[in-house]
Amino acid sequence: MVTALWRGLDVFRPFAWLFAVYSASVRHQGHQGYPAFAQPWLAWVVLGVLGAWTVGSVLYRTRSHSLNVVRFELVLACCAILSTRLVDTPAVILGGAKTLPGLWPAAAVVAWAVLKGWRGGMLAAFLVGLADLVEVGVATQNTINNIVILVLLGGCIGYCADLSREGHAALGEALRLRAEAGERDRLARTVHDGVLQTLSYIQRRGIDLGGQARELGEMAAEQERLLRALVSRSPDQPPAGGLQPAAGMRREVDLRLALGRYADGVVSVIPPAGPVLMAALVADELAAAVGAALDNVRCHAGADAHAWVLIEDKGRDVTVTIRDNGVGVTAGRLAEAAVSSRMGVAGSIRGRMSDLGGTVTLDSWPGAGTCVELTVSKKGPAS
């Protein structure tokens, strides 16, 4: 943005100079209702100096953005204005003739505004205005108008430059913070990996050594599972609903997190690699139904039973399959329990799922446990 302002200034300056030369050449021929210059040679010398400065500032664009350069330009602009007194007779000046450099001093005001903000712009505008007043000698309406416009120009452009600098600084700060967070995440991954490795190793050695060491091993195994569940939450993938108004059904959550809390020594949660985003209310209900199914496993499947919870993202729908390797039930009893809803847990699952507009299938083979499959639309019954 600031660069764009400088570029605009580099274009403005030559045009302002050309306009000044054009005005002077018209005066030189004695048109415009004013007599010719009293000292034409001086007029051309002054315009020549301004022209050289203009060409130089275009050629050395990058070096012309320093305080010393714009300071000198301002002095040059004021001198050019004051030189009008020598070029023209006081009568002509009081008659309302334009100053010799015309619009050119505005370039110095803008340069100050871009470099030093609104204060710099207005200061430069005041100095140029002062030179104008000294040149004319009295405050004519025309001069006052010019001065007000110059001050407004310096103030406005300076304010724009200030804003863009602040925006740039804020952007830089945000980028720095993001880079820092990324680096912290990277370090955290290394640390987490090391801790997971160590906990796994303690578990392994503890089981080897037996006795009290075995207890230590089991504690390590538990902590390892918890840490793994925490780390899998992939914080660098914000939920897609995060930008929408977070109201009610609109909010989306990752089902992997909602079900991840069930993972322990008995229950394995098997998620896909990417997030499974769905309406938060649906995810909560689905998680409660899965919890009920797992309670059922703990109650009925036997002491050594293990359960697996498979999460499948099918696009519009989500399917969660809960299987245990417990004693299972005969198909007849299962059907009977399901139909009469006497099985409290099965009833609770069915109730929750029918509220969500989802489906439940129950399957059991003797010897290979029970399988509960829950399918529900990600957006809930409304869709």
Partner 1 sequence: MNGPQAQARWEPMAEDRPDRPLREVTVRVVVADDHPIWREAVARDLSDAGFTVVGTAADGGSAVSHTLATRPDVLVLDLNLPGMGGAEVCAAIVDAQIPTRVLILTASAELQDVLDAVKAGATGYLLKSAGREELIEAVRETARGKAVFTPGLAGLVLGEFRRLANEPAAKDRREVPELTARETEVLKLVATGLSCRQIGAHLFISHRTVQNHVQNTLNKLQLHNRVELVRFAIARGLDAPT
- Min dist CB 258 to partner 1, Å, is 16
Contact status, residue 234 vs residue 256, Cβ threshold 8 Å: no
261: contact with partner 1 by CB under 8 A: no
200 binds partner 1 (CB under 8 A): yes
197 contributes a contact to partner 1 by CB under 8 A? yes
331 interacts with partner 1 by CB under 8 A: no
| Contact range with partner 1 by CB under 8 A, out of 25-33, 36-44, 146-154, 195-203 | 195-203
Q: Which is nearer to partner 1, 24 or 267 (CB)?
A: 267
Length of the chain (residues): 383
Min dist. Cβ of residue 210 to partner 1 (A): 14
Is 213 a binding residue for partner 1 by CB under 8 A? The answer is no
Where residue 32 falls (left for φ over 0; alpha for ψ -120 to 50; beta otherwise) is left
- Selected from 10, 268, 355, 359, the binder of partner 1 by CB under 8 A is 268
Among 311, 329, 360, 362, binds partner 1 (CB under 8 A): 311
CB of 219 to partner 1, least distance (A): 13
Out of 12, 19, 44, 308, point to the residue binding partner 1 (CB under 8 A).
308
Taking CB atoms within 8 Å and a gap of at least 24, the contacts of 72-75 are 73/107, 73/108, 73/111, 74/108, 74/109, 74/111, 74/112, 74/124, 74/127, 74/128
Helices (H), 232-322: 255-260, 280-300
Of the pair 82, 207, the CB lying nearest partner 1 is at 207
| Using rule CB under 8 A, residue 231 touches partner 1 | yes
Q: Is 320 exposed, middle or buried (0-12, 13-18, 19+ CB in 10 A)?
A: buried
232 binds partner 1 (CB under 8 A): yes
Q: Are 241 and 250 in contact (CB under 8 A)?
A: yes
Question: How many angstroms separate the CA atoms of 258 and 233, rounded?
Answer: 10
Q: Which stretch binds partner 1 (CB under 8 A): 26-34, 288-296, 320-328, 348-356?
A: 320-328
Strands (E), the chain: 252-254, 267-270, 277-279, 307-314, 317-324, 359-364, 370-377
- Close Cβ partners of 192 (under 8 Å, ≥ 6 residues apart): 227, 231
Asked if 100 contacts 81 with a C-beta cutoff of 8 angstroms, the reply is: yes
Under the criterion CB under 8 A, does residue 274 sit at the interface with partner 1?
Answer: yes
Contacts with partner 1 by CB under 8 A: the residue count is 42
* 266 is a site residue for partner 1 (CB under 8 A): no
Rounded (to 5) percent helix, strand, coil in the chain? 65, 10, 25
354 near partner 1 (CB under 8 A): no
Nearer to partner 1, 92 or 216 (CB): 216
CB burial of residue 7 (10 Å; 0-12, 13-18, 19+):
exposed
**DSSP string of 339-363, one letter each residue:** HHT-SHHHHHHHHHHHHTT-EEEEE
Nearer to partner 1, 30 or 274 (CB): 274
State the maximum Cα–Cα separation within the chain, in Å, rounded to a whole number. 119
Q: Is 370 in the site for partner 1 (CB under 8 A)?
A: no
How near is the Cβ of 183 to partner 1 at its closest, in Å? 17
Tokens 């439940």, located at residue: 360
Q: Which of 313, 345, 346, 380 binds partner 1 (CB under 8 A)?
A: 313
State the nearest-atom distance from the C-beta of 121 to partner 1, in Å. Answer: 50
* CB contact at 8 A, 364 and 371: yes
56 contacts partner 1 (rule: CB under 8 A): no
For partner 1, the binding residues in 78-117 under the rule CB under 8 A are: none
Asked whether 20 and 104 are in contact (CB, 8 A), the reply is: yes
Q: Does 270 bind partner 1 (CB under 8 A)?
A: yes
Indicate the residue among 132 and 324 with the shorter CB distance to partner 1.
Answer: 324
Footprint of partner 1 on this chain (CB under 8 A)? 189-190, 192-194, 196-197, 200-201, 203-204, 207, 221, 224-225, 227-229, 231-232, 268, 270-274, 306-308, 310-315, 321-323, 325, 365, 368, 371
